[in-house]
Amino acid sequence: MTYHQSKGEKHEKGEFKCFDHVTFWVGNAKQAASHYCTHMGFEPYAYMGLETGERNIVSHVVRQNTVIFVFKSALNPGNTEFGKHIEKHGDAVKDVAFTVEDCEALIQATKSRSEVSVVKEMWTETDEHGSVNFAVVQTYGDTTHTLVERMGYKGLFLPGYKPPLFVPAIYKTPIPGINFIDHIVGNQPDNEMDSASQWYEKNLLFHRFWSIDDDLMHTEYSALRSTVVTNHQETIKMPINEPAPGKRKSQIQEYCDYNDGPGVQHIALNTNDIIKAIENLRERGMEFLTIPDAYYIKLKDNLSRSRTKVTEDMDVLQKHRILVDFDENGYLLQIFTKPMQDRPTFFLEVIQRHNHHGFGAGNFKTLFEAIEIDQKARGNLNNLQCNCFYGGI
């Protein structure tokens, strides 16, 4: 496991500030948004569709504190762009948007470094609340990044959006208390992690923040390699994973098979109180990976020999199957949902940090073993073979 100390080159003009929002392309945006409201505690935030004058794409926006998810679906038959994406990937993350300063300078800088990354040049949208600049660049697979420069925009979300029309079922359970996006993970086919990471370094001037190889991250059956890229201010963290050779198919390879190539594997959501958050989420019907009791026996033994003290009740952490990773400076608490849709692709993580800036490397083996239990139930923990048909057949 390696931390990279250099912050790398800074843009002469413009700046990547933070995650802005995440856009999913799904078969039924209203139902998907309602699912996240009912089970994850999000609230309807904004809407664009037939009632607002949009005739082609419907957008349901949900929010929890600063975390904003946008669910989009095609309104009309014959929309091949949406149809092909959903046929290939299922319900999936299409775009990870960044809040930026000086969108035009950033997109021009990206163009100067790459001939193929810019999907859409900068454009401006305006309504009675002000103007917002946008541009779109292509990253791994079919995933894009939208650059969003709000310029003091005073509207609800973005130009053209109106207050939501639907109200999901009301739960007496409190909102879980998710505060912001901690990181967003992208899975790559074997031997494509470095090229994906280099794309961020070259085109967006991100730098490498953290990395781990398969010597540290493996189980009896499977392994992975991972590296994390981040912006200059280290407010946007994008881990990039790839499978490593193993006896059986790893969950990274399983993702690539069912996603038909690279894409966003999971989004980590930061909270100040993970125990309360998970209690509330379980009451809402959320399903999480099962962690064996043996993990907590070993964890308690390891912590007894460390100067790091976990202030949370270990029995409560064990009850909710929350993982703990630590070093001599601090610790983090994390838990992973089961897939959020029928395909075993995208899922969510809930994370709480106590002076710990890693990504749970000490838990990777336990996490993989837990996922392998579900892989076995799905009939996918088999001998490794290439079942990926990138681009379709």
- Relative to beta strand 207-212, strand 223-230 is antiparallel
Geometric angle at alpha carbon 170, from 168 and 173, rounded to 5°: 130
* Residues 316 and 194 occupy one common structural domain: yes
* Residues 119 and 196 occupy one common structural domain: no
Task: Please state, in angstroms and rounded to a whole number, the distance separating the CA atoms of residues 156 and 316.
Answer: 39
The reply to whether 370 falls in a domain is: yes
CB atoms within 10 A of CB 3: 11
* Residues 348 and 217 occupy one common structural domain: yes
Dihedral sign for Cα 71, 25, 229, 135, please.
negative
* Residues 125 and 183 occupy one common structural domain: no
**What is the torsion angle, in degrees rounded to the nearest 10, for the CA atoms of residue 193, residue 194, residue 199 and residue 200?**
80
The reply to whether 335 falls in a domain is: yes
The reply to whether 266 falls in a domain is: yes
Task: Please state, in angstroms and rounded to a whole number, the distance separating the CA atoms of residues 197 and 186.
Answer: 10
- Per-residue model confidence (pLDDT) at position 221: 52
* Residues 94 and 200 occupy one common structural domain: no
* Residues 39 and 134 occupy one common structural domain: yes
Geometric angle at alpha carbon 355, from 351 and 360, rounded to 5°: 45
Q: 367-381: buried (b, 16+ CB within 10 Å) or exposed (e) per residue?
A: bbbbbbebbeeeebb
* Residues 143 and 184 occupy one common structural domain: no
**The 57-64 sheet, strands edge to edge:** 43-48, 57-64, 67-74, 15-25, 92-101, 144-149, 130-138, 118-127
The reply to whether 161 falls in a domain is: no
The reply to whether 253 falls in a domain is: yes
Which residue segment(s) compose the domain that 93 sits in? 10-149
Task: Please state, in angstroms and rounded to a whole number, the distance separating the CA atoms of residues 196 and 110.
Answer: 15
* Residues 115 and 223 occupy one common structural domain: no
Residue 375 CB partners (closer than 8 Å, separation 6+) = 249, 251, 254, 344, 381
- Per-residue model confidence (pLDDT) at position 135: 97
Which alpha helices (H) appear in the chain, and where do they start and end? 29-40, 80-89, 103-113, 193-203, 251-259, 274-283, 293-304, 314-319, 364-378
- The pTM for the full model equals 0.90
* Residues 323 and 232 occupy one common structural domain: yes
CATH number (domain holding residue 275): 3.10.180.10
The reply to whether 167 falls in a domain is: no
Q: Which residue has the tokens 């057949």?
A: 393
The reply to whether 159 falls in a domain is: no
- Of 149, 170, 190, the residue that ends a domain is 149
In angstroms and rounded to an integer, the radius of gyration of the C-alpha atoms of the chain is 21
Q: DSSP letter for 169, please.
A: P
- Per-residue model confidence (pLDDT) at position 56: 97
Q: Which residue has the tokens 């940090």?
A: 353
Dihedral sign for Cα 220, 222, 225, 230, please.
negative
What string of pLDDT tens digits covers the 393 residues of the chain?
555 656 667 777 899 999 999 999 999 999 999 999 999 999 999 999 999 999 999 999 999 999 999 999 999 999 999 999 999 999 999 999 999 999 999 999 999 888 778 999 999 999 999 999 999 999 999 999 999 999 899 999 999 999 998 777 666 788 999 999 999 999 999 899 999 999 999 999 999 987 776 444 445 555 678 899 999 999 999 999 998 765 466 778 889 999 999 999 999 999 999 999 999 999 999 999 888 888 888 889 889 999 999 999 999 999 999 999 998 899 999 999 999 999 999 999 999 999 998 876 766 666 556 556 666 777 876 654 433 322 332
**The 237-244 sheet, strands edge to edge:** 2-3, 207-212, 223-230, 237-244, 178-187, 263-271, 347-354, 331-336, 323-326
* Residues 329 and 215 occupy one common structural domain: yes
* Residues 322 and 184 occupy one common structural domain: yes
Residue 309 CB partners (closer than 8 Å, separation 6+) = 303
The reply to whether 392 falls in a domain is: no
Annotated binding site for Fe cation: which residue ranges? 183, 266, 349
Annotated binding site: which residue ranges? 183, 266, 349
* Residues 60 and 113 occupy one common structural domain: yes
Per the structure, the count of domains in the chain is: 2
